[in-house]
Chain A
Amino acid sequence: QLQLKESGPGLVKPSETLSLTCNVSGDSISKNSYYWGWIRQPPGQGLEWIGSIYYLGSTYYNPSLRSRATVSIDASRNQFSLTLTSMSASDTAVYFCMRRPGVDVVSHWGPGILVIVSS
């Protein structure tokens, strides 16, 4: 059974870079046709897609975050990552990693990790 789990710092200073990792267990991250990605949710607000990566390496980003976000895959560790540069208070959110089995629904979610941006 597929499980996703986010890891990374819970507190980031303004202007710093956030690095999060999603560990994938129960399936191969290199499996045909899967998309892996990140969605965030500021406190009390809705869901915002950040970006996705196809298993072959193509990446796609929310236009509002494209200049600051990078999603990458480490197949040898069966994990994928998000880096988000120039963090500010408005980036405070719960960050979820997720999987789409192709051009399909978001079928699996990690439990989420709260990241607070504060000095």
Chain B
Amino acid sequence: DIQMTQSPSTLSASVGDSVTISCRASQSITRWLAWYQQKPGKAPRLLIFKASTLEGGVPPRFSGRGSGRDFTLTISSLQPDDSATYYCLPYNSHSELTFGGGTKVEIK
């Protein structure tokens, strides 16, 4: 089973700041990693797949990098609407899904 370690668990930043969230897999997942954004009371929304490919309609201030075991999600020029919890998800297996623990992004 793949385990995902996501950090930090919470972060607080100001509008306009750049923030980075990390996920480390317990084994290589090549580039089969997705990032989701979840707002309270809503289902998660897909932001990025294949580690760095932006889903349609996602603002370009979101970007993803990484391969193998280490991945990052960066939000450049943080906006008030970016206040949410972000999750990473490896998707290289048909028989399991294991989300990262989540990162809550708060706007100061």
Contacts and interface: CB of A to CB of B under 8 A. Distances in A.
Chains A and B belong together in one complex: yes
A46 B43 contact: no
A49 B99 contact: yes
Kindly name the residue among A46, A100, A112 whose own CB sees the greatest number of chain B CB atoms within 10 A. Answer: A46
A105 B46 contact: yes
A103 B43 contact: no
Interface in A1-43: 35, 37, 39
A112 B41 CA distance: 9
Contacts of A35: 94
B94 A105 contact: no
A93 B98 CA distance: 17
Nearest to B35: A105
Interface string B73-103: 0000000000000010101111111111110
Given A35-B94, A103-B91, A112-B43, A47 B102 contact: yes
B66 interface: no
A8 to B, nearest CB: 16
Interface of A: 35, 37, 39, 46-49, 52, 54, 60, 62-63, 96, 100, 102-107, 109-112
Interface of B: 1, 34, 36, 38, 42-44, 46, 49, 87, 89, 91-102
Given A46-B102, A103-B94, A105-B34, 18 more contacts: A35-B94, A37-B97, A46-B100, A47-B38, A47-B87, A47-B99, A48-B99, A49-B96, A49-B98, A49-B99, A103-B91, A105-B49, A106-B34, A106-B46, A106-B89, A107-B46, A109-B43, A112-B43
